[in-house]
Amino acid sequence: MKKYNRPHFYGAEIFSAFVFLCSLSAAFMYTLCRDEVFATTCIMTAVSFGIYMLFYVLRNKRAFALLAFIACLLVSITLFSAFMQISPISAVDFLFKASEVYDGFMAAAFISIFSFIIGFSTAYFNVYLPRPAFLLLPAFIPLLLAAKTAGGLPAGYVIFTAVGYALVVLGVSRPEYPSEISYTDDKKSRFERLGALGIFGAVIALAIFAVPRSTETPLGEYLDTVFKRESAIYGAGNLSNFTNASGVNHGANEPSDNILFYVNADYPVLLSRWNFDNYNDNGSWTAHSDYTTGWSGWRNYKENLDADYLSTRLYNAAQDGLLSDYAQLLSELPHSKDEHSSKVMQIYVVDGSNTRVVIHPNMTVDASIRRYDGDIYRTLMDEMFTESNFGSDAVYFLKYYDNTPNSELIELFENVDMEELLSEAAFEGVITETEKNAFLNERSRAEEYHEKTLEERPISSEIIQLANEITEGLTSDYEKAIAIERWFGEAGFVYDLDFVPDETSAEYFLFKSRRGICTDFATASALLLRAADIPTRYTEGFLIKEENKNEYGAYAVKSANAHAFAMCYIEGYGWLEIDGTKYAVNAEDIEENNLLPLVLLITAILLGVCAFIFRRQLSEAIFAVSVKFGSDKRNIRAIYLRTRKLACKIADKEPKSATSAEVAKIISNSLNLEKQAQEIASCADELFYNNTISPHADRLYSDYREIVRMKKKMRK
C-alpha cells in the first residue's frame, strides 16, 4: 500500500544557529546601541539563543511548542511595553537617530521583542520547517534599520552576518523519508512555504512603507536640510543683535540646550525679542523701515496704557454720577484695580552675548540695565534696544503690567465710540488728557500699521476665506483672535520639529501639511488675523516653561526655548499674544499614543503567523472543545470524518471515495489499532444507515486520540 509521502525533519546544528543569532544580535546592537554594543550584544545573543533552544527542545512536541510560543510572545510584548513606558525617550528617537541616543530601558525593550522574533524564526526555519531562504528574513530587520538611519553596517558586521547565515543554512535539519515510500511531492509543505512567504512578505512591505524615514542623517533629499540648518529660530546660539529676516522652517530642527539667560519671575511668560511686519514669498518675515526707529521717551506713554486701571476708574465714575450717557454699560465693568500695579522681572544673561537687544515681556513700562547708563529705545512695534552694546553677561530689570484681557471693557469699546467715551472721561476729569491720547494714539497707530502691511502684502483669497470660516458668527476682534488661536488645535495641527516640508509658504502649512514648528504657526496666525481685519505683527522671542525652573527659583532659558508667536491689537486691551502652537498636538505625543496600535499590530501579525504555523494543533484543540459540548450524533459524525481524513492522508487517497471499511483497514494495517478503527467505523455505519447510536459511542473520542498519537509516534 502506498504510504503518505510527507518527509520528516531531524537534527539541526546548534552551534551554527548560535553563530547566526550572535551575528544578528551584533548587527541589531550596532544599529541601536553603539555606545554599549558589546554588552548589549552579549545579552541579546543569550536571550535569543535561549528562545531558540526552548523551541529546539520542543521540536517534537508541537502542542507544548504552541504554548511556549504564546507565553514567549506575551512576555516579550509585556516587557517591551513596560520598558517603553519607563523610558524618557520615544521609540522613534531610539530607533532612527543612528545611535545618537542611548537609553537602557529602551534597549531592554527592543532586546526583548527582537530576541523573540529572531530566536523563534531561526528555530522555525532551521528546525521545524527548514527553509534556508527564509532564514534571511530576521537578517532583514537590522539591515532595514541601518538603511532607514543611513548609518550603514560596517563591512565586518555584514561579513559576520553572511558567515552566520551560511553556517545556519549548512546546519539546517535534513528531510528523511520512510524507506517503504517513494517521495514524489510534498504538497502540504509547499502550501506552508507559500503561506509563510505571503505573511512575511506582507510584514516586510508594511515595515518599508510604514516605518518613518529618519530626518537625522544625510539621506537623499534630507542632505541640505541636515547640514545647512537654515531654520534661524532654532539656529540662534546666542542673544545676537537684530536680524534682517525671521526664521523659516526647513525641517529637521535640532534645538540646543545651551542656557542663554536666567529669569526671575513669579511665573512663566512669553518674552519678545524682535518683531517683523512684511510677509515674503519664501515664507520669511522682514521689518518695515517705518517701524525700526525707536524713541527714548516711551516710559510715560506706556505707563498710561493700563486697561485694567482704566476700567476701574470708568466704573467708579459711573457710580459717582459721571459719564451719564454710558452709566448703564459702565456699571457692568469689573472694578478691582484701584491703582496701577505692575510686576518686576530680572534677566541675567549668561551666554557671554554683548548685544543691544533687550528681551522683555508684553506691556513692559520700565527697564534698567545694571552698569549701563545710556538710553533704552523702543520702536512703535515694541522692540527694545540700546544705543550701544550694554556688555556681556548683563543683568537688567523690567517692570510690566500683567493684565489678563478684560472682556467686559473690550466688549464696551466694541459697542460704543471709544474716542467719544474717552474724550468725555477726560473732560469730566475721570482720566487725564495724556491717558486719553495714549489709548487713542495706540489705536490709530495699530490701524495705520494694519493698512500699511496689507498694502505691502495683500492676504491671499484662500486665507481670507479660511479666516471668514473660522470667525463666522463672531463680532468682536477678541473673540475672533481667540477662535483663530484655538482653531489650530481643533483642526488637528501637529507640532513636529523633525518634519521636512516640501514648501515654506503659509498656504502649504495651512492647507496641505498642517504640520510644522512655531514659526509656521506664528506666520499662519498672523496672516489669518490680518485676514480677519485685525492689526497683527509677527514676533520672535522665548517661551519660558515651568520645567525650566531650577532649584533656586529662577527659570533657565535655553536656545530650545526660542519661540515665535503673533501679536494682535485688541481695542480695550492693547497688543495681545496669540500662540496657536500651544493648541497643536505634539508629534512625540502622537508617537507615544500610537505605541498601543503598533503593539497590537505586531501582536496580530505574530498571532496570525502562530495560527498559520500551528493550525493543526489549534484545530485539534477546537475539535476537543466541540466534542465536550456536541450531541452524540454530531460527535460520531465529526470523529469519523476526521479519522477518515487521517487514514486517507496515510494512504494518499481521496477522502470522499473511501468507505468506512477501507478507513478501518488503513488504520489497522498502518497503525496497528484494529479495535479503535473498528469501533469508529461501526458506530459511523450504524448512524449513517440505521440512524441509531452504538453503545460504544461514548469512547470514540478516546479511540480517535489514540489514532492521532500513534500516527505522530510512527511519523505517518
- DSSP per position, 43-110: HHHHHHHHHHHHHHHTTT-HHHHHHHHHHHHHHHHHHHHHHHHH-SS-HHHHHHSTTS---HHHHHHH
**Residues 164, 72 share a domain:** yes
Tell me whether residue 26 is in a domain: yes
CA dist., res. 74 & res. 113, Å (int): 10
Cα–Cα nearest to 449, from 566, 296, 288: 288
Residues β-bridged to residue 577: 567
Kindly state the DSSP code that residue 549 receives in the 8-state scheme. B
* Whole-Å CA distances, 67 to 45, 58, 62, 192: 23, 10, 9, 20
CA dist., res. 421 & res. 418, Å (int): 5
Max CA pair span of the chain: 121
Rounded to the nearest 10 degrees, what angle do helices 14-32 and 136-149 cross at?
A: 10
**Residues 32, 44 share a domain:** yes
The pLDDT assigned to 148 comes to 61
Q: What secondary structure does DSSP assign to 457-505, as a single string?
A: SPPPHHHHHHHHHHTTT--SHHHHHHHHHHHHHHTT-EE-SS---S--S
Q: Which residues of the chain have pLDDT under 50?
A: 1-5, 179-185, 211-235
- The total of other beta-carbon atoms located within 10 Å of residue 692's CB is 11
Tell me whether residue 250 is in a domain: no
Tell me whether residue 55 is in a domain: yes
The pLDDT assigned to 218 comes to 33
Tell me whether residue 487 is in a domain: no
Tell me whether residue 120 is in a domain: yes
Domain that holds residue 54: 8-217+592-613
**Which helix (H) or strand (E) covers residue 303, if one does?**
helix 298-303
CA dist., res. 260 & res. 554, Å (int): 13
Tell me whether residue 697 is in a domain: yes
The pLDDT assigned to 97 comes to 59
- The total of other beta-carbon atoms located within 10 Å of residue 79's CB is 17
Tell me whether residue 701 is in a domain: yes
**Residues 174, 152 share a domain:** yes
**Residues 179, 92 share a domain:** yes
Query: How far, in whole angstroms, is CA 396 from its chain's centroid?
Result: 40
- Residue listed under C-alpha cell 468725555: 424
The pLDDT assigned to 359 comes to 94
- The total of other beta-carbon atoms located within 10 Å of residue 424's CB is 19
Number of domains within the chain: 2
The pLDDT assigned to 380 comes to 87
Please state the pTM of the whole predicted model. 0.56
**Residues 150, 49 share a domain:** yes
CA dist., res. 685 & res. 640, Å (int): 10
Query: How far, in whole angstroms, is CA 203 from its chain's centroid?
Result: 21
End residue of a domain, out of 554, 582, 613: 613
**Residues 196, 115 share a domain:** yes
Structure confidence by residue, pLDDT tens digits, 191-247: 655 565 566 556 655 655 554 444 443 333 333 333 333 334 444 556 777 887 787
**Residues 212, 201 share a domain:** yes
**Which helix (H) or strand (E) covers residue 26, if one does?**
helix 14-32
Tell me whether residue 699 is in a domain: yes
**Residues 46, 12 share a domain:** yes
End residue of a domain, out of 561, 583, 613: 613
**Residues 598, 708 share a domain:** no
CA dist., res. 143 & res. 31, Å (int): 9
**Residues 187, 97 share a domain:** yes
End residue of a domain, out of 578, 613, 648: 613
CA dist., res. 514 & res. 494, Å (int): 6
The pLDDT assigned to 215 comes to 40
**Residues 212, 157 share a domain:** yes
**Residues 603, 648 share a domain:** no
